[in-house]
Amino acid sequence: MAIRVLAYDDNDLIRNSVKLLLEVETDIELSGSFSSALSIISDVEYLKPDVILMDVDMPEINGVEAVKLLRTKFDSIPVIMLTVFDDNDTIFNAVCAGATGYILKQHVTEELASALRMVINGGAPMTGSIAKKILFMLPVATTRDQETYNLTEKETEILKCLVKGFSYKMISHEIGISIDTVRFHIKKIYDKLHVHSATEAVSKAIKNRLV
């Protein structure tokens, strides 16, 4: 079954580019494309997307506020921010609002399809330069804080892969274990970090310098 995508961007050229990029993908379909996210709740209820692409800078309601609005009713639909902005405040606000991934528009041609597949499989896709900024923008935790989580060497290795945006399948290939074993370890990681999703795990790992 194809991955259903909903896109929001006030730039007609960008929306058309996304449409053309996804038309050639047999496992991904664009279910809707809008210039405003004011009606995001009703759009999602009607179109039932698997993933949302969200521009940051839009009229009426910006992308970060749109994600916050979405999360009041839908907390599990992954949202990939698609934007030209790479300043720390914008990135931080988007992640805190509940964004799952963050891709710069200049990299959309080569990164969009793989990012959509990755996020569906539990990954947190980010353009490389964005991931580096996130790693260094949050406070360093104390050693005592880090030790309380008691992550094993294998769990830490898997957490590093989650921070890089790897899917379960990619982690399985990278570490040389089965996908079921990956799922087992990730459940243990969630329990130890007191989180319920890959996005929360990545955010806590970055914030507390666990990897």
- What class has domain 138-207? mainly alpha
Identical fold for domains 3-135 and 138-207, yes or no, is no
Q: Give CATH for domain 3-135.
A: 3.40.50.2300
Which tens digits make up the pLDDT trace of 32-55? 999 999 999 999 999 999 999 999
Q: What is the pLDDT of residue 141?
A: 47
Q: What is the pLDDT of residue 144?
A: 43
Q: What is the pLDDT of residue 131?
A: 67
The domain locations on the chain are 3-135, 138-207
Instruction: Name residue, tokens 């666990």.
Output: 210
Question: What residues pair up with 51 in beta bridges, in sequence order?
Answer: 5
Q: Is the pLDDT of residue 208 over 80?
A: no
Q: Is the pLDDT of residue 125 over 60?
A: yes
Which tens digits make up the pLDDT trace of 128-143? 667 666 666 555 444 4
Q: What is the pLDDT of residue 38?
A: 95
Nearest to 199 by CA among 95, 102, 88: 95
Q: Are 130 and 104 in contact (CB under 8 A)?
A: yes
Main-chain dihedrals φ then ψ at residue 87, nearest 5 degrees: -75, 155
Helix, strand, coil in percent for the chain, rounding step 5: 55, 15, 35
Q: Which is more confidently placed, 125 or 114?
A: 114
Confidence band for 1, pLDDT divided at 50, 70 and 90:
confident
Which tens digits make up the pLDDT trace of 151-167? 999 999 999 888 877 87
